[in-house]
Structure 1
């Protein structure tokens, strides 16, 4: 039986690092097992904020990869301020009161002149090239994945020109994403963003989202079919590691300025003061980009001597740090907009064998998944005593060499199981 050819358009692809690359890298890995031949279209010369060359090994030589040049405005922005352009491209936006004039100016330009995002110049030329490829390869199904949501505009053009079946995948929401409000968007620009979002949501044949909250949000805009396919975990190479001797509480990935759980830092500060053994064993480890205000909070609470700032590492190394640690932190901004966000690392956390301490808003998909799988505890930003109590409980288990998790129902979040769900839609 001939395999069904599917064109997948994505901005993020190895050697891109960070969470944005994982979803479709894994789908592409497993789709051939379900009689689907993926053809992947990516930028030839992207300006990826994070690089992880180890991910290249996960791309099979049998997969057709088509590359096309892109003009990256962040390279030009670097002339004004290299530091600001680099941090913005990583999604790091300073607190408003700490923003320089240059950063404010760059945010205004980004939000009002690059709609929906800084990769908009890739849309028209890519669509023109892909029309020929679609004809040549006899492709009748198209998938676009965002952010950047400008990738969906390529899908929109191809849909209009060729009438393909189009699946639009949203790893994150569009206009309701947390940082959207920080881009100093004018009312006119906001209308343009909303119009494009509405057009994509009502033109695609099938919408894919990563959370039930996003599905509920989009359902207010469109009647198109919406399927929830979360991110997940994959089988990882066997890593030689030894668990930390210290009581390590680790956060893996970017911990940006608004993700600053003061209740957690205060609880740890109190435990340090009250318990000499706890103070001797505590280690707070950050693996990834950390906002300066978070480091300031730790200094203010006399926790500076306890934190270990590793910085960005490869995906394989991040898995190692997860397994080495005693507790894993999952922190989300306390806002209505972040209820639909399920960080990709949650699923890797769940199979690490280490208890999760999650802090975020109420009624999130994250809270439901953690409870359903018995992999940790979710707390709100106004929780204090219960958070402190759980940390102490985990510490006592650590001292008795009994700190384990007993997860249930994880198999449905395996990348192969999720790809099977995707294949049914194709």
Structure 2
């Protein structure tokens, strides 16, 4: 295989615990393992990457953090006036995220090396905007530019923001300059303007299955034990109808939830008692091991089909049956079957090989001219 010169630009990266971080980190590790020249530009963190670079054959430039990025706009406890101000600044001016775009163009301005491929990873979309500006000024920077996207931008149906026309124009301006747009699932294509559909390539989330440690013993829980891991939202992944149904079940079960948004579960803690256990998120390796000890795993489907949670691949890796429910129309008969140990209605994602990180890197490298 011809060795490539690769530049990745991403705010989310190891050791951050998020799906976008997993995406970027797994790609960087596998590219390095294959012997390519891998450079990563990421958010400035108080973290020494020297051991990571040595182990994974890559170079990490941790220098994108800005003083105003992750400011009080991301804090949960703010007064109403600050919330209104922050919402206005982001919705109409993409502030403070656009500062990242400026920083990226500054960093790339002095970069004289030509890359075979540049992979920019959102969110935030200001990463793509910064790349678009840099490549407009210097098209020789890369033979191919791939804008990797998780959730859609201005057409995102779950977003609380309704962006004005000039932000939508900015998205179109940005994507006209990309060579390719990568999305994790086929359904996500509808989250982008039709004029760009010809540029879109479906490249799923990828993982190194050999690095995953799972529980290998017999599943011998004292009662049906199942788990949900991830965020809960009132509009898109609301557990209310599921919880109301489980509340009336007299048989013993244990529902374990790993989440940093536990508010929607608070009303049920007293009535559920020991049947409901809410925990804070843990590192992904630890989480996968815990998930592999469950009788089955729960996924609350997104209301909007353009957005598919990457946790489903993590679930699949554990080998445990997956109960997938629609938040507004749960299949109560299937829930009953799962609680009785009948997993015939389990959710399937297809072949695991489709998500192997070596397969995913080949898909990206195939986009080099």
| Structure 1: gaps spanning 5 or more residues | 86-98, 273-277, 361-379
Change (3 A) 1:67 1:268: same
Task: Give 1:73's aligned residue.
Answer: 68
Report deviation, 1:263.
Answer: 3.1
* Aligned residues of 2:41 and 2:62 also touching (Cα < 8 A): yes
Shift of 1:154: 1.5
* Superposition TM-score, scaled by structure 1 size: 0.75
Residue 220 of structure 1 is matched in structure 2 by: 194
Match of 1:15 in 2: 15
1:358 equivalent to 2:324? Answer yes
Q: Could you tell me which of 146, 168, 172 is aligned with 2:151?
A: 172
Distance apart, 1:72 and its partner CA: 4.2
> Cα distance 1:309–1:32, how it changes in 2: closer, same or farther (>3 A)?
same
Partner of 1:60: 55
Verify: 1:231 aligned to 2:205, yes or no.
yes
Deviation at 1:179, TM superposition (A): 4.5
Question: Equivalent of 1:83, from 34, 57, 76?
Answer: 76
2-structure distance, mates of 1:304, 1:58? 47
**Matches of 1:74 and 1:128 in 2, distance apart?**
16
TM-score norm. by structure 2 comes to: 0.85
**C-alpha contact 1:202 1:223 (8 A) present in aligned 2:** no
Which secondary structure state, in structure 1, belongs to the residue aligned with residue 196 of structure 2?
A: coil
The Cα offsets for residues 239-263 of structure 1, whole Å up to 9 and x where unpaired, read as 4576443322211122233322333
Match of 2:83 among 103, 126, 149: 103
- C-alpha displacement at 1:5, in angstroms? 0.4
1:389 aligns with 2:322: no
RMSD: 3.2
- Once the 2 structures are TM-superposed, how far is the Cα of residue 2 of structure 1 from its aligned partner? 6.0
CA–CA distance in structure 2, aligned partners of residues 168 and 413 of structure 1:
19
Counterpart contact for 1:6–1:38, Cα < 8 Å:
yes
Q: 1:112 & 1:408 partners in 2: Cα distance?
A: 41
Partner of 2:285: 316
Task: Sort the Cα spacing of 1:59 and 1:248 in 2 relative to 1 into closer, same or farther, 3 A.
Answer: farther
Preserved CA contact (<8 Å) 1:202 1:224: no
* 1:340 match: secondary structure: coil
Alignment partner of 1:342 is 2:338? no
Distance 1:292 1:425 in 2: 43
3-state SS of paired residue (2:101): helix
CA offsets 1:199-240 (integer angstroms, 9 cap, x no match): 122111111111212223435132652110111443234345
Over 3 Å counting, the alpha-carbon distance change for 1:263 and 1:352 in structure 2 is same
Which one has a larger percent helix, Structure 1 or Structure 2?
A: 1
User: Which SS does the other structure have where 1:321 is aligned?
Assistant: helix
The change in CA–CA distance for 1:310 and 1:160 in structure 2 (over 3 A counts) is same
CA shift, 1:414, in A, is 1.6
Which residue of the other structure, out of 330, 342, 348, is the alignment partner of 2:299? 330
Listed as ranges, the gaps of 5+ residues in structure 2 are none
The correspondence for 1:118, drawn from 96, 103, 112, is: 96
Deviations 1:359-405 (A, max 9, x none): 24xxxxxxxxxxxxxxxxxxx6224xxx332222223228xx99999
Residue correspondence of structure 1 range 289-308 to structure 2 within 5 A: 289-296=260-267, 298-299=268-269, 302-308=271-277
Counterparts of 1:204 and 1:75, CA distance in 2: 27
Aligned to 2:175: 201
Please state whether the residue corresponding to 1:358 is helix, strand or coil. Answer: strand
**What is the aligned partner in structure 2 of residue 153 from structure 1?**
129
Give the C-alpha shift of residue 357 in structure 1.
Answer: 1.6
CA contact (8 A) 1:29 1:58 kept: no
**Contact 2:32/2:58 (8 A) holds in 1:** no
Query: 2:249 is paired with a residue of what secondary structure?
Result: helix
> Is the 1:261–1:359 Cα contact (8 Å) retained in structure 2?
no
1:141 aligns with 2:110: no
How many corresponding residue pairs?
359
Bigger mean CA deviation after superposition, 142-151 or 243-252: 243-252
Other-structure match for 1:419: 361
Q: SS of the counterpart of 1:324?
A: coil
